[in-house]
Amino acid sequence: MTKTLRGADIVVRTLERAGHTSIFTLSGNHIMSLFDAAIETKLDLLHVRHEAATVHMADAYGRLTSKPGIAWVTGGPGHANAVGALFTALGQETPMVLMSGHTETDQLGKGGFQELKQVEMAAPVTKASWMATDTATVGMDVAKAIRISLGGRPGPVHLSLPSDILDATVAEDDIVWPTEADFVPEPVALTDGAADVVLGLIAAAKRPLLIGAPVLANRPGRALMDRLTATLGIPGCLSEGPRSFNDATLGRYGDVAKRADLVILLGKALDFTLKFGAEPFFAADCKFVSIDPDGALLARAASVKGANMAFGCVADTYPAGEALIRRAKTKGDPAWVAEANAAFADRPESVRSGVSSTQDKLHPAEVFRTLNTFLEREPDAVLICDGGEFAQWGQSILVNDRRMINGVTGSIGASLPMAGGSRIAEPKAPVFAVMGDGTFGFHMSELETAVRLNLPYVAIVGTDCRWNAEYNLQVRDYGPNRTHGCELNPTHYELVATALGGHGELVERAADLAPAIERALASGKPAVVNVMIESIPSPVVRR
């Protein structure tokens, strides 16, 4: 008898053969065949409590490993819940694949169960989005999704899997199995000639500045940036956050940008985070070089800068950086490098010495100066800094080359599931997630996921009983008497952790914080350290 396989079997075996065995998922009608098929494989299905968490966990996994994180959700509302989370992964250039169950193909347009235009819904927040249509070639669809997620500017990809495609059987001899090469994108190198042009422009500039893309915001990428700036003898930074020149990580970044006479964009899109390269943020005669994996974004940069675009070419970010290192022959001005690096390192006095003036509350700087001692002790620790004012203090103070932030999209709330995904990628070193009390509410149920799956991490929640970022925007734009909808309760979030089976600590004094973190780490459980803090705006070096 001819052996047959279901489409679901083809999908899971394709993933298993390619080594993608950690699957972040939430069950549902349309993907039950995948769950059944996975029983016969080495796939580890990590079940969460909300579909958006599958994407955030896959996002963290992809950032840490540079391998695509894989998420499975059911169709219709499950897919809809997951789609919003893709925006964060897209902004941070994270390789990952969302596979969503889907209405049967013979019911399309007839009002099938949970029928939804899933492909069209996911398209704006992915590199590519499509629906599988043939059981025999569904493995090739999986390989294509993984390949696209890794190629050029990495990012999320969506693949819809109709139930009838997963349930249908195909003779094993008729299955089109992907080869190893089908999973791997063809890199686009920076040619020697193009590298020499860029290096010539750098040599002719007095104050060149290298700005790297979010895809470099991991340990290998930061190491590449360090090698580049050292080899070329120029200053550089990563632009991975939404606050532009007020990025708390980069000190007086705006001053450096204004002084630059040449900006080299290494995979970094010319967008709102760079104020589109416009005055007064850059000098009127500042020239730009764009090395970008995406020809459309390269053309966009050229149209914006016009005659001030000195050079542009299509090349992938990591290979382009290596080519510049390989071809470099001279170094720039050490005085300019020292000036720029001093500006990047500059911090307000409150960062260095801020202490609370309120009884039973900590200054945010006290929290992160304490946490930094743990990061210095554990160089392989993973750090997740969510958005909001509290986490901005963390971004300003904490030093870590395995740090993840909410990214250029400015979305908040991903940090708890990202901590769980990070634990899958990093089984030993501590995982810390820092967030405000508003952010904590987005995915607090994922603490139960972490307890159930034995994914220990330490979440440090700064509780100021306020949506503080929005509060400060309202004060700035409308005045202190026109704030609205920003207040929260002084909730015991540490008790949420203990109720769900984790470890909880309440901290109201600076002296109690380090022991509380030590106990949280020693618990071996997902832990919440709930720190009562003063409500203070994020630290910005004023210019």
pLDDT for 217-257, tens place per residue? Answer: 999 999 999 999 999 999 999 999 999 999 989 999 999 99
Q: Locate tokens 């769980």: which residue? A: 420
Q: Within a 10 A sphere around the Cβ of 200, how many other Cβ atoms?
A: 12
Structure confidence by residue, pLDDT tens digits, 482-517: 999 999 999 999 999 999 999 999 999 999 999 999
Structure confidence by residue, pLDDT tens digits, 180-214: 999 999 999 999 999 999 999 999 999 999 999 99
Residue 23 has pLDDT above 80, yes or no: yes
What the block records as the tokens of 41 is 């494989």
pLDDT score at 395: 93
Q: Which residues of 86-119 are buried (b: 16+ CB within 10 A; e: fewer)?
A: bbbbbbbbbbbbbbbbbbbbeeeeeebebbbebb
Structure confidence by residue, pLDDT tens digits, 94-141: 999 999 999 988 888 888 888 889 999 999 999 999 999 999 999 999
Structure confidence by residue, pLDDT tens digits, 50-97: 999 999 999 999 999 999 999 999 999 999 999 999 999 999 999 999
Q: Which of 361, 370, 364 is nearest to 350 (CA)?
A: 364
pLDDT score at 174: 96
pLDDT score at 40: 87
- Domain range list for the chain: 4-183, 192-345, 349-532
Structure confidence by residue, pLDDT tens digits, 403-453: 999 999 989 999 999 999 999 999 999 999 999 999 999 999 999 999 999
Say how far apart CA 351 and CA 526 lie, in whole Å: 28
| 348 close to 369: Cβ distance less than 8 angstroms | no
Confidence of residue 352 (pLDDT cuts 50, 70, 90): confident
Say how far apart CA 26 and CA 78 lie, in whole Å: 8
Class of domain 192-345: alpha beta
Residue 542 has pLDDT above 60, yes or no: no
Say how far apart CA 135 and CA 499 lie, in whole Å: 45
Confidence of residue 541 (pLDDT cuts 50, 70, 90): low
* Residues of the chain above pLDDT 90, percent: 90
Query: What's the mean per-residue pLDDT of the chain?
Result: 95
Q: Locate tokens 């199995």: which residue? A: 177
CA 280 to chain centre: 30
- Work out the average pLDDT over 12-23: 97
- Work out the average pLDDT over 350-375: 95
pLDDT score at 111: 87
Q: Within a 10 A sphere around the Cβ of 187, how many other Cβ atoms?
A: 14
Which pTM value belongs to this model? 0.96
pLDDT score at 543: 42
pLDDT score at 478: 94
- The CATH fold of domain 4-183: Rossmann fold (3.40.50)
- The CATH fold of domain 349-532: Rossmann fold (3.40.50)
| 402 close to 382: Cβ distance less than 8 angstroms | yes
| 532 close to 360: Cβ distance less than 8 angstroms | yes
| 72 close to 99: Cβ distance less than 8 angstroms | yes
Q: Which DSSP string corresponds to 278-334? A: -TTTS-TT-EEEEEES-HHHHHHHHHHHGGGEEEEEE--HHHHHHHHHHH------H
Sign of the C-alpha dihedral computed for residues 273, 277, 279 and 281 taken in this order: positive
Q: One-letter amino acid identity for 12?
A: V
- Residue 364: what are its φ and ψ, rounded to 5°? -50, -35
pLDDT score at 234: 98
pLDDT score at 115: 82
Confidence of residue 166 (pLDDT cuts 50, 70, 90): very high
Evaluate whether 4-183 and 349-532 have a shared fold. yes
